């Protein structure tokens, strides 16, 4: 018995091939599934690549949710292995950087002078997250963001967010100061007791290392809270 093979874009009728449609009509005329199909190139066994792309969109609901999903989560869709998942993540990441010139480790950072600027610099990373993500913004002597690093995922506690791990990136990047940012998936902007205690520990660690903690921003669905502005730092 002959094994089923994966269907490629070339198995589609010429008029339905996303590549040909893009050349003829331009990328703006293609659906999200068609654009994903171009990136993916091959589908699952027994399914065309376009069908696999449509299943991916159906599984996650929209491109934003796919962009926020991990490689492992995308791989759960039939017909999408690790290589395809990485390619999809890379393409969607480029889309983020196209419309946010200051997003990404290879872009020169703007000075972050206010809590609102820190919040805006992280808004695209934290929007719609279902878990707590803790980030550190490493700044130079002019308060420009040198790099942004994810420290942890999950509820904040001392076993997950340890000063040693938090300041590792700040030390390696020769940061002059740092800002911490994390989200509350519930949308509640009120700092928890754990948020406050952790911040105090990190401020003390920063003082010992000579790397001041300028602020800790909590991001919710409808804005942010600055612990510095509330005199909690």
Ordered domains of the chain (ranges, CATH) = 6-99 (1.10.150), 115-226 (3.40.140.10)
* Residue keyed to tokens 């934003």: 64
| Pairing of β 177-183 and β 213-220 | parallel
Q: How far apart are CA 49 and CA 41, in angstroms?
A: 6
127-183 residue pLDDT tens: 778 888 999 999 998 888 888 888 888 765 444 577 888 898 899 889 999 999 999
Two tokens at 191?
Answer: 């700092």
74-113 residue pLDDT tens: 999 999 999 999 999 999 988 877 765 555 554 556 788 8
Q: How confident is the model at residue 4 (pLDDT cuts 50, 70, 90)?
A: low
When mean pLDDT is compared across 63-67, 103-107, 201-205, the lowest value belongs to: 103-107
Which of 112, 116, 93 shows the shortest CA–CA distance to 217? 116
How many CB atoms neighbour CB 152 within 10 A? 19
CA quadruple 77, 67, 191, 232: dihedral positive or negative? positive
Q: How confident is the model at residue 207 (pLDDT cuts 50, 70, 90)?
A: very high
Average pLDDT of the residues in 7-36: 82
pLDDT of residue 172: 86
How many CB atoms neighbour CB 87 within 10 A? 15
48, exposed or middle or buried, with CB in 10 Å at 0-12, 13-18, 19+?
Answer: buried
pLDDT of residue 205: 93
Question: How far from 47 is each of 9, 33, 39, 51, 166, CA to CA, in Å?
Answer: 11, 14, 16, 6, 45
The pTM score is 0.56
């Amino acid at each position: 018995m002959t094994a089923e093979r994966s269907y490629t874009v070339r198995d589609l009728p010429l008029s339905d091939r996303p590549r040909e449609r893009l050349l003829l009509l331009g990328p703006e005329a293609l659906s999200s599934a068609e654009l994903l199909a171009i990136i993916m190139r091959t589908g699952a066994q027994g399914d065309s690549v376009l069908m696999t792309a449509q299943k991916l969109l159906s599984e996650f609901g929209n491109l934003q949710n796919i962009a926020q999903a991990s490689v492992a989560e995308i791989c759960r869709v039939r017909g999408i292995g690790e290589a395809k998942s990485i390619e999809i993540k890379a393409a969607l990441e480029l889309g983020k950087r196209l419309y946010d010139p200051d997003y990404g480790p290879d872009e020169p950072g703007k000075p972050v002078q206010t809590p609102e600027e820190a919040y805006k610099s992280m808004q695209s990373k934290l929007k719609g997250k279902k878990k707590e993500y803790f980030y550190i913004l490493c700044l130079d002597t002019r308060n420009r963001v040198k790099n942004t690093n994810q420290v942890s995922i999950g509820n904040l506690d001392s076993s997950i967010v340890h000063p040693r791990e938090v300041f590792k990136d700040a030390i390696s990047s020769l940061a002059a100061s740092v800002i911490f940012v994390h989200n509350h998936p519930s949308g509640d902007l009120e700092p928890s007791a754990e948020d406050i205690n952790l911040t105090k520990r990190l401020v003390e660690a920063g003082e010992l290392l000579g790397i001041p903690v300028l602020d800790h921003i909590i991001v919710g669905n409808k804005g942010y809270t600055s612990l510095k502005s509330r005199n909690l730092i």
